[in-house]
Structure 1
Amino acid sequence: MNLKVIKTETEYNQALERLEEIFDAKPGTAEGDELEVLSILIDKYESEHHAIDLPNPIEAIKFRMEQLGLQQKDLVEIIGFKSRVSEVMNYKRKLTLEMIRSIHKSLSIPTSVLIQEY
């Protein structure tokens, strides 16, 4: 494949097809080098044209709770009063900086996700 910057969706799809063809190429070979460069070009195109937005903070908390097998009552120790947890989880109260820090520390959710508007 003629390696060049990927500018269109058609070129992107062609690059993905070629990547599949040479996916098992051995490092240090011509195809191995092509695989490495093609991966970089595809990654660049995807980050510019297929960027994935960060998740909603509350949905991220719910997802993490599900992963850890936690229930809403378990957030009382992290956020505070049961009523406050309920308000936050039902979008009636915004997360405070203190809550964000505590959730980040306890649930390992990136602060970049928690500080978003919702």
Structure 2
Amino acid sequence: MNTIRPIHTNEDYQLALKEIARLVDLDPAVGAIEGDKLEVLATLVEVYEAKHYPMTLPDPIEAIKFSMETHGLRPADMANYFGSPSKTSEVLNRHRRLSITMIRKLHKGLGMPLEVLVQDVALS
């Protein structure tokens, strides 16, 4: 790929990925031109992927359970975020929706993304 151009098709996308792989494998001493080319191609690929392969957000309850697991927390440890052990159980078992207060506490205390937490939760 000698020139950089927009990525419109899957073929363009594949060529850009190959060129990125080639540029990454080069010796860093090759120069700033290759570094600039790599940066531009990576940006173009990122835009193409965002449009054609959008990432979906995880389910809020599953995300909370994952966060609990990664932080080594048990349901009993979550009362500070949900208000009480019974509310914790209700939320984790999909019998209660997250409140704004819960969302704020989970975001601030566990660093959970707001865009994940504000999604609608299917209740059982």
The normalised TM-score by structure 1 is 0.89
Matches of 1:11 and 1:92 in 2, distance apart?
48
% of aligned pairs identical?
Answer: 43
What is the CA–CA distance in structure 1 between the aligned matches of 2:38 and 2:114, rounded to whole Å? Answer: 35
RMSD: 1.6
Which residue among 48, 73, 78 is the counterpart of 1:75?
A: 78
The residue type equivalent to 2:114 in the other structure is T
Distance in 2 between residues matched to 1:107 and 1:15, nearest whole Å: 37
Unaligned 5+ runs, structure 2: none
| 1:14 match: secondary structure | helix
Unaligned residue ranges in structure 1 (runs of 5+): none
Within the alignment, does 1:87 sit opposite 2:115 as a pair? no
Number of residues of Structure 1 aligned to a counterpart in Structure 2: 118
**Which consecutive segments of 4 or more residues in structure 1 shift more than 6 A?**
none
Residue deviations 1:45-87 (CA, integer Å, cap 9, x gap): 1111112122111111111111110011111122122221111
- Number of the residue aligned with 2:62: 59
The one-letter code matched in structure 2 to 1:3 is I
Residue in structure 2 matched with residue 12 of structure 1 by the alignment: 13
Q: Provide the C-alpha distance between the structure 1 equivalents of 2:109 and 2:66, rounded to a whole number of angstroms.
A: 14
Please list the CA deviations of residues 86-108 of structure 1 after superposition, one character each: whole Å capped at 9, or x if unmatched. 11001111001111111112211
